[in-house]
Each structure stands twice: as C-alpha cells, then as structure tokens.
Chain A
Amino acid sequence: MSTYWLIATDEIRYWRRSRLALWSTILFMSVLLATVLITTTRIETERNERMHHQQEAEQTFLDQPARHPHRMVHYGHYVYRTPTPLALFDPGLDPVTGQSIFLEGHRQNSAMFSDNSASADFGGLSRLTPASVYQLLAPLLIVLLAHGAVAREREAGALATLWAQGVSGTTLLAGKGLALIIAVALVLTPILISGLLALTLGESPLALLTLLAVYFLYLSIWSLLSLVLSAFLQQRSTVLAMLTAMWLASALLLPSLAVNNAAQLQPMAGKIETDFEVQKELRKLGDGHNADDPAFQKLRADLLARYEVDNVEDLPVNLRGVVASESEAQLTELLNEFAAKQMRSETAQAGLLHNHGWLAPTLAVARASRAVAGTSLEDHHRFLREAEALRFEFIQGLNKVHAEELSYIDDINRSNGEEGDKRSRVDASNWEVLNDFRFEAASAQQRLATAGYPTAVLAAWCLALAVGVFVAGARLRP
C-alpha cells in the first residue's frame, strides 16, 4: 500500500508544480463556479416566477364571476412546469421544452414558450450549465492531468529506475490511478454546492449521491483511458493528441451524429401530421356542443328511459351537460391514445439516441444526469400527463355543474335577452372544481431506475478500461 501511496503523492506533487496543471485547474474551476452561480440564480428566478404564475392562474380562475359553466370550459386554465430541485445543477430539457400549457375543453394543447425560443442565438454550445461543464470540460482537465502519467516517466528515462527498484508496471499504474481518483474526487466537490442547495429544496440525499457516483464513473473513464494510452504510447504529445481526438469524438461529434441517426432511423410524426389522423377519428364521435347530434341519440334515449320521462325538459339533469361530459370523455380517451403514441415514439427515438452512449460516454452521462436531476424526457412526459389529468378533472367538474346546477330550459334560452343570460349563469363558487397544480420531481427511486441503464453503460466502460489498465500494467517495460 505504501508504494501506491508514494507514487500517488509524488504524482500530486508533480501536478502542484506544473503550471499547465495549475492554470487549467484555475480556468476550469472559475468557469465551473461562475456557471454554478449563474445557473442557480437563473433556475431559482424561473422557479419563483413560474410558481407565482401558477398561483396567479389559479386565483384568476377562482375569481371569475358567475357564468354559464361551459364558458369556463373554454376560459380554461394555465399550468406551469416548475423546475425540480436538482435542475439548478442540470436543467436538462427545461430550456428546450415549453414551460406552460393552456388547458381547455375539447383540446390538448402543446407546451408553449420554451426558454430557447426567445433567447439570443449563439449556437449549440452556448448554454453552459454545471452539468455541461462536467460533461464537456472536465474530461479535458482530467486528460491534461493524466496524459503524462507514464509517458512522462518514460520520456525522462525514469521507468528503468523504477523497474530496478522493484516497482512493477501494475503497481505504477495503480499508484497513478490512486492520484487520479483523488483528483476526480476534488474536481467533483463543487457539485455539492448545487447539491446541498437542492437538499434544502427537498431533494433526497440518495439522488445527490447517485449524481456524484454517475459523474465519478464518467471522469474515471477519462482517467483510465488516459492511463492506458499513456502506458501504451511512446510519446507524451501523441498521447495528448490521441486523447484530444477521443474527447472530440465523445463530447462533440458522436452526440450530434447520434441525433442525425436517431432522426433518420426512427422518424417521428409531428403534431400537425398526427392532428389529421386525430381529426379522422374525431369525425366518428359527435359534436359535444350539439345535444341533437345523432351520435348522442342513444345517450338521450337511455337517460329518458332511466328517469322514466318522455321529454328532455323533464329530466332531473340538463341533457346538454350530460352530452358535454360524455363527449369530453370519449374525446379525451381518443386524444390520450394519440398522446401516448406520440410519447412512445419520442421515447423510442430518444432510446435509439441514448444507445449511442455505448460509443460515447458523454451521451451516457448526460442521459443519467438528466434522469437523476428529474429533467429528462420522462419527466417532461409526466408533466404533460399530469397537466392532462388536471384538465380532464376540472373540465368534467364543470360539465357536472352544467348537468346538475343549470336547468335544460334555462340553458337553451341562454341567448334570450338579459334575463335569459342571467338565468343561464351558475354561481362562482362552482369554480372550486379546479385543483391546485404543483409539478414536483418524481420520487428518487423512480429517477434512479431511469438512470440505471446509462449508469450501467458508464460502469461497463470503466470496467473494460480497468482491464485495459491491468493489461497495460502487466506489459509495461522500461
């Protein structure tokens, strides 16, 4: 053990004396800390703003005066996706997905107004977050520290001395690896700044630990890769050039090439395309605004039979409300089917993309990081589903009010002058059918389950490279 430790401390001493290591560490840390500060401020502002908008939207709905209940169905409501606690480390899909949805009767709207759509355009790499600093820049720092681990000793002719002293190749690499583990651990500590803040916002410690583990695996991959190349190749400059090329491939090339691949191999129908199909299916259902629509004849007959009356005017419920409710239920079932299909194809396309993580660890770590932070595609889909559940709930609540609180006679005479208009309104206390909406992160267990596969990919990379290090150690000769 002491030999390993000796080698490790010696390596760390070398880094402390190297201006290259010093300046790259300073540059990395300042970029990282600036990013942590900026992202935290930005996400916290967003959280407060969206929370405020949400409460305002709820209050506005409740404050509406007495009205015809169906007016409120069209008045609708807004929901906002508030950022999860760890979004201040990895905002993930937040800037590219719409933040709010307008909920109304008979329609499922898409999420509108993404952050990116109004932001100044500086190209794809211009949105640094703490997560992307770790994904994109931290490997470079590790590579700079590690590339000379063995090659430097070889160039200085020190390998023979070490060999003569009885230090085997495996021992040398293990010692250097130990130094790198310490370096990685130090590089990872700033995650705790965002992490501890997230804990105060209710994040589970388990998620934070997993996040640390995921990035530890990722940076270990780059450490091991550097060690292997440093041991196999003769010159330090070749090692660094090779590692730079690999970084270029993993961090820049392969992720966006994977996007091209996924878009081409797993094409996805857009919303307008799907809308035509929905329209086709919708024609088979009736128009819920029209209680005389033939599609609702059976419903009308059933109601008349159930209450043993001959005319709809004699029903204890308002036929128009019952029809609206029935038609909303049918419509929603259909729309949900299409929405689920859309989500499935998005998930499949993203799955194909993420499978490229076997080639590019940067893709795997990004995927795992978003999953743990609760800012992945799964979370966006959950937001859409929760918003839809809320929509259906309050729309049907209003339809129930329509059926039970407003008589059929008053309803059909609603355009009949001021008096008719007044009688067709129901009391504003009925708007209480709307429930509060707060978007919260999925449970830590659920997020960790999503992160499982990409984390396994990272672990597999680590394992394969660890074997590589052993082979390199065994074959290392002065």
Chain B
Amino acid sequence: MSARIELLREAQFLGRDRSLVLWLAVVAVLACASLASGVSEVHSQQVLIDSLLQADREERERVLDAQQDWGSAAYYSFHLTYDPPTEFAFVALGRRDQDPWKHRVRMLALEGQIYERDSSNPVLALIGRFDFAFFAAFVLPLVLIVLLHDAHARERTAGRHALLLTTSGSARSPWRQRAQLKAAGVFTASALPLLVISTLQGVAASTQLAAACALLAYVIFWALVCGFVAQREQASSVLLTILLGAWLVLAVIVPSGGRLLVDYFQPVPSGADITLTQREAVNDAWDLPVETTMDAFVERHPEWIGMTAVDEQAFEWKWYYAFQQVGDMTTEPLTDAYRAGRQRRDELAGIVSLASPPALLERFFQSLAETDLTASLAYEAEVRRFHADLRAYYYEQMFRKRAYESAALEDMPTFNPS
C-alpha cells in the first residue's frame, strides 16, 4: 500500500470520528470568535480616536479664542496624542489594555502627565481578553493534548493495538499519520480563519506568512510533545495527566517564575518617585531666585541666552514654563532609568520565554501586531517629541514677545502618529 493511499485511508477514518470533527469545529469557532472580537475592538478604537480628534480640535480652538496671551494659551489648551492600532492589532491586543495609548498633554511639566492612564475597567484588564494570540498560545495546546494523548492507549484498550501493528508497514506509521492528520486539522481550523480575516483587513502578506509559520511551528511542537508522551505504554489517563502537567509547566509555571526572576534581578525605580521628584522640583522653583531656574534652563536651550530677564515685580509666563521644563530635567535620570529598566525587563522576558513556547508565541504575535512594550515605549517617545516641539513653539512666541494673534497659531505643532 502506498503512503498516499494509507494517508487517505486514515483521513477517511478520522472523518468518521465524530468527536474529532466536533473538536475541529470548536477550534474554528473559537478562532473566529477571537478574531471577530479583536476586529470589533480595533474598529471601536479607531472610531474613538477619530471622535476624540474632532472633540480635541474644537475644544482647543474654543480655548485659544478666549485667551489673550501665549502663557495662558499654553496653560489652558490640551493636545491629543495617540497610538493608532496597526492592521494586525486585532490578532493580539497585548498591552493596549493596560498601557496608555492616548493622552491629552499640555505645555506643563510632562512627567506629571505622561503616566496618566486612560485605563479600561480593571476587572477586565485582570482577566484579559480572548484574542487570537491568547487562544493560540494557551488554548490550542490543550485541544491538541486532548486529541492526541490517547492515540496508542485507545487502540490498546480496544484490543486493536497488536493487529494494527502487524497489518501496517512500520511500527509507528498508523499513529504517526493519524496524529499528523489531527494536528494538521487543528492547524487548518485555526490558521484558515486567521488568514482569511487578515486578508480582509488588509494585513501585509509578509506579516500573515510570519504569523502562519509561527503558528505551524507551535502546533508541530505540541504535536511532537504529545506524540512523545503518547508512545509510553500507560493508561490514557496517566498520559493525559503528564501532558496537562507539561502544559502547566510551560504555560503557567515557567512564565510566572520568569516574571518573578526578571522583576527581581532587573529592578526599576518606583514610578511614584518620578512624580514626587518632579513635584518637588517644580514647587521649589517658586521660591528659588529666577536666575537659578533660568541658568538651568538655558543650559538645555542655549538659543535663549540673553533673553531670560524677568520682571521680578510681576508674574511672567516664560519663567513659569522654564521651571516646568527644569522640573522635567530634574527627573530625567529617574525617567531614563524607568524606561531602560522596563526595556531591559522586556528583553530578559524575551530570553526567558524561550523556555516557554506559549509565552514566546504570544509575545511574537504582539510584536507583529505592535502591541508589545517596544510599541508602548515608542509611543511614549513620540509623545515626548511632540511635547518638545510644543515647547519650542511656545518658547519662540514667549521669549520673542510675539503678539498673540491667530496667524501665529497656525504654526502650532500638531501631533502626527508615525
């Protein structure tokens, strides 16, 4: 009997296995459900961004109209910054549920603003969404385990094991083929919805290919683990238990231990210290001589040397904003350490997750979807850049004592996400 005919025979045989068909249907339905809810979430995020952008523009125009000087204009007007979801974000919503991806900032010290969280419901964030990345990384292996653990044991119980051994060509082929076909079925039932919906969403072919390859490698990994365990001459309940134990270790225990170790060996400064330091610096400035603030200020902005004279008898905005900036400068070492620490933690997590395929796959999907920490930090950097532009713009008006007029308002920087 040729290998192809044999394979075909096994496929027909499996096609009549009602529980297998049911499981594959469940996989397909769950894949579709995870993708559909991802698509709808991403869509509502886009709609929200559009409506916020409009509200933001209207609000700012209204506020700017009512002002008489640059200082108040900068004080009372906010700017929306945001990180739009990528085309692939619906597959892995990742950190978008816990890290901020939108802010409204103004020209005051940024450190007091950038850690504001426009967060979703914490109960939902605690449990986490059912997105495709979660489904593939954590649920799919369990389906494979249930389907593949008793390949040998079932025949043994049914008393067919010896017969099958003697009638087929080699000692392993009927089980191997059957397991291969089942795993292929699981892969198809999950990958097909992913590829179809990705195509509909206009995801780049290279991204789709990368995702499909990762998923395939992942299914093969678990099929091999199952195949390896299923060969043991033991009762199927023992085999299932061993495989559940393997899942537990790889999907839960290694990631939990990894998180603990990484957090322990790579400390980050407490976030609260950043805002505390910033507050002290900004508030102390009220009582410091103007020159102290201005000297520190022009060190960063030498272009304003010689224009920092302030009338001590009255309040001057340029001094106010200078000490806001100096406040940010004071916290820079902490802020940098906070960012670098998180980045380093993420790199270490990437290394440790090599020991946990589920975490690895989820992280891979998140990096494809740009919903990982790298993306969060990139957005944070964009907000900082925009804030710096905003400062440069207002400094120009204030230090040069320009008249407050609508023509100059048109040059105000606008936030453009990359």
User: CB within 8 Å of B: which residues of A?
Assistant: 20, 24, 27, 31, 35, 38, 49, 53, 57, 65, 67, 71, 74-76, 78, 80, 92-93, 95-100, 102, 109-114, 116-128, 136-137, 140, 144, 147-148, 235-237, 240-241, 244-245, 248, 252-253, 255-260, 262-264, 267-268, 270-273, 275-276, 279, 346, 349-350, 353, 366, 376-377, 380, 415-417
Contact = CB atoms under 8 A, between A and B. Distances in A.
Contacts of A111: 117
Given A96-B126, A97-B122, A148 B237 contact: yes
A65 B237 CA distance: 72
A450 to B, nearest CB: 13
Residue in B117, B238, B251, B358 whose Cβ sees the most chain A Cβ within 10 Å: B117
Nearest to A348: B121
B138 A275 contact: no
Contact of B252 (A110, A125, A241, A380): A125
Contacts of A20: 237-238, 241
A136 to B, nearest CB: 7
Given A144-B241, A241-B146, A256-B134, A380 B122 contact: yes
B258 A126 contact: yes
21 contacts: A71-B283, A76-B279, A80-B272, A98-B119, A102-B275, A113-B270, A118-B341, A120-B259, A126-B359, A136-B252, A137-B252, A237-B235, A256-B129, A256-B134, A263-B124, A264-B41, A270-B120, A349-B124, A353-B123, A366-B127, A377-B123
Contacts of B201: none
Contacts of B182: none
A207 to B, nearest CB: 20
Complex A-B, nearest 5 residue pairs according to Cβ-Cβ distance, in ascending order: A113-B271, A126-B255, A122-B255, A256-B130, A120-B262
B363 A260 contact: no
A35 B51 CA distance: 45
Chain A interface mostly: helix
Interface of B: 30, 33-34, 37, 40-41, 44, 48, 51-52, 55-56, 59, 80, 95, 98-99, 102-104, 112, 115-130, 134, 137-139, 142-143, 145-146, 150, 153-154, 157, 235-238, 240-241, 244-245, 248, 251-253, 255-256, 258-260, 262-263, 266, 268, 270-272, 275-276, 279, 283, 286-287, 312-315, 338, 341-342, 345-346, 348-349, 352-353, 356, 358-359, 362-363, 372-373
A121 B129 contact: no
Contact of A244 (B115, B142, B358): B142
Interface of B is mostly: helix
Contacts of B259: 119-120, 122, 126-127
Nearest to B315: A415
A264 B263 contact: no
Contacts of B40: 264
B128 A124 contact: yes
Contact of B112 (A102, A263, A272): A102
A111 B119 CA distance: 10
A252 B245 CA distance: 16
Q: Which of B44, B80, B248, B313 has the most CB of A within 10 A?
A: B248
A71 B286 contact: yes
Given A112-B117, A245-B146, 20 more contacts: A57-B276, A71-B283, A95-B126, A98-B119, A116-B98, A120-B348, A121-B372, A124-B127, A125-B138, A127-B256, A237-B235, A248-B142, A252-B142, A259-B127, A263-B120, A263-B129, A273-B51, A273-B52, A346-B121, A346-B123
Nearest to B267: A118
Nearest to B66: A283
A376 B127 CA distance: 13
B260 A117 contact: no
A255 B127 contact: yes
A386 B211 CA distance: 47
